[in-house]
Structure 1
Amino acid sequence: MRLHSAVAAAAGALMLVLAVPGSASAAVGQFRYSYKTADGYDAVGFINNPESGRCIDIRGAGSDGTSASYAPKNLTDSTATVFLEAGCTGAAFYSLRPGAGASERLLVRSVVFS
């Protein structure tokens, strides 16, 4: 009887472990953006398989304090919300559905994926 109870308890514990969600999920794919280097050259940056639900300040964007990245392309399987301000703050934001891109007029400094 005790062995039966121990097996049942172990099975229940295993089911609980399997039911608990794993670590943070990620958007699968690549997020691309363009920016100007400090020397004034056009460059392309990218983020591979970005973590979902976490604000990402875009590398290269605003590194000189004035310019932002532009022309984002969301080649992931999640919606990307891009912000003009760093830290995913401010009233200026735009959502890009999976597979969508935007023109060079859309300026971005941070992004978060759903």
Structure 2
Amino acid sequence: MRLHQSLTAAAGALLLTLALPTSAHAAAGDFLYTASTGQTASLADPQSGICLNLPEATEENPANSPQNFTDATVFLETDCNGDTYTVMNPGKKLDTHTQLRSVIFS
């Protein structure tokens, strides 16, 4: 009976440990893109799970040509909204036809 209680307690502790939220971590790598000014901009080791609106991207002039060296999903709309998005695996580079205003890293 004691073995059964010990195993149950250990399993419960393990489940609690797995269920506790973990702190956000940074995605290792760089994310490059061409800003609406034509200059190359970058995000180094961005925080995972947080949507970032690109400050250089405007409604009239979105950013373009993303180059991803981490895991990212880029969105045409701000706040990582909308139906137009592209999942980018590490090492993927897209051309000037890919426009973006926000990005989220995983």
* TM-score when normalising by structure 2: 0.77
The equivalent residue for 2:82 is 90
Indicate the structure (1 or 2) with the bigger Cα radius of gyration: 1
Higher strand share: 1
Q: How many residues get paired? A: 90
Residue 74 (str. 1) matches residue 68 (str. 2)? yes
Post-superposition shift, 1:36? 2.7
Gaps of 5+ in 1: 1-15
The equivalent residue for 1:3 is none
Gaps of 5+ in 2: 1-13
The equivalent residue for 2:104 is 112
Listed one character per residue, the Cα deviations across residues 8-53 of structure 1 (whole Å, up to 9, x for unaligned) are: xxxxxxxx9xx6665211111110000232xxxx201100101111
CA–CA distance in 2 between the matches of 1:28 and 1:80?
A: 11
CA–CA distance in 2 between the matches of 1:24 and 1:98?
A: 20
Paired residue for 1:56, among 31, 48, 52? 52
Please provide the CA RMSD for this pair.
Answer: 1.8
Listed one character per residue, the Cα deviations across residues 57-93 of structure 1 (whole Å, up to 9, x for unaligned) are: 012001xx301000000012xx210000000000000
Paired residue for 1:44, among 40, 46, 63? 40
Which amino acid is 2:74 matched to? V
CA–CA distance in 1 between the matches of 2:27 and 2:55?
A: 18
